Amino acid sequence: MKIGIIGAGYVGIVTGVCLAEKGHTVVCYDIDSTKMRALKKGRVPFYEPKVADLLSVALKKGRIDFVHALNQCLSYSKIVFVCVGTPPRENGSADMSYFYKAISGIAIFGKDVKNSEFIVVNKSTVPVGTARDVHKHFRKCFTVVSNPEFLREGKAVSDFFNPDRIVLGFEDQSEKSAGARKQLTALYEKFDCPKIITNWETAELIKYASNAYLATKISFINEIAALSERVRADVKTIAKGMGFDPRIGKEFLRAGIGYGGSCFPKDVRALQSLSRGKRYSFKLLKSVIDVNNQQRKIAVEKIMSAFSKNRVKRAAILGATFKPDTDDVRESASIAIIKELHIRGVNVRVFDPQGSLNARRELVEDAVRGVDVVFLATEWKEFLCLDWKKMKVLMRGDIIIDGRNVLDQRELTRLGFRYEGFGVSS
């Protein structure tokens, strides 16, 4: 198929190169012309495993192109994916300006195209009711399909090719929807996973509900961790014992400094904002957010308690990104902790294999040399196999605080470190 993509950000590029790998031909458009030129040369503006390689292959095979004009993208295909950002406003609601700018541009073009054949597939995370609102204003220009994405940063390519499910939302009943359903069914035919065919609102809410529930699991296990520290229990063993129950599952039950990134914080707040707009108090979500914010404060207090009085306080933070295998520091718990430590007068050194904000020191040894405490904020594989015996020689102090509960406590203790995690016995 010939496919257009509007928005060359994380979702747009991953979707584009993966569809090209599947044999489709793709044309991408973004308002950032500098980004378009870089992508034409095979340079990806973010770090995500395998994406650069897929882009290189797609360019060589002529299956993907990047254009500077919206009409160039739209005239190429009858199926266009909208993958633009919907960043949060201060009140938690989604900023839809980029989305509606893209939709308006499509509508102007779509007036001259037979609407039963022109399909706009929305992958942007949007408030419930958006597709119906777009249909109300632009139904003569195109057919709307809701197709939320479930890509995890660091595992996006694998998630695209091996999805847990594919969600497609259409208008309840119409001839145009039947045509769009046929086209999208054909596009996803070879993906071996459940396909959920539903209406627009349900598809839109599935995305928000999924991310909010995963955030809830994280906040729940962090509450259990806080209780565990008070009753001499081990939260890692508790999580393991819980996870064997198939009704609960093992994922997202690791205590630590909480969730971050471009999705969970934004989507939880957006769902809370949506609920307020519908005069419904979603009390659970407030608690999820409060607990997540609390974890960062707990982390800071753990670090501050490690310092001796009357001397310069030095700390090394290992990890700036919100999770490993990405360069994304948006809503990163690590960044929030670093900022608070600076306010409290701590000399902070940061090392991250991919993170920005000057966190990429050439050697991790440079970060830990002469510090009182090392705080693990991101569970990069590089940190799990560090030569901790060497690290201890370089450090001034002997305290390791594990913000992700992933280090070998027994081995670190054997080497003479004082280990502290979240919800585990020191």
Torsions phi, psi of 261, nearest 5? 95, -175
d(CA 401, CA 164): 35
Please return the burial class of 76, using the count of CB atoms within 10 Å of its CB with bins 0-12, 13-18 and 19+: middle
Helices 51-61 and 10-21, axial angle in degrees (round to 10) = 50
CB neighbours of residue 159 within 10 Å: 17
Please answer whether residues 216 and 178 qualify as being in contact, where contact means their C-beta atoms are separated by less than 8 angstroms: no
Instruction: Please give the span between the terminal C-alpha atoms of the chain, in angstroms, as a whole number.
Output: 58
Please confirm, yes or no, whether 28 is among the known catalytic residues: no
Q: Which residues contact 165 (CB under 8 A, 6 or more apart)?
A: 150, 193, 194, 195, 196
Please return the burial class of 164, using the count of CB atoms within 10 Å of its CB with bins 0-12, 13-18 and 19+: exposed
Q: What share of the chain is helix, strand, coil (3-state, %, to 5)?
A: 45, 15, 40
Q: Which residues pair with 26 in a beta bridge?
A: 3, 64
Q: Which residues pair with 137 in a beta bridge?
A: none
Phi-psi region of 137 (alpha: psi -120 to 50; beta: other; left: phi over 0): alpha
Sign of CA dihedral 201, 204, 208, 213: positive
Which of 73, 83, 263, 385 is the catalytic position? 263
Classified as helix, coil or strand, 156 is helix
Please answer whether residues 166 and 196 qualify as being in contact, where contact means their C-beta atoms are separated by less than 8 angstroms: yes
> Which residue in 172, 124, 130, 170 sits closest to 148, CA to CA?
124
Residues noted as catalytic: 263
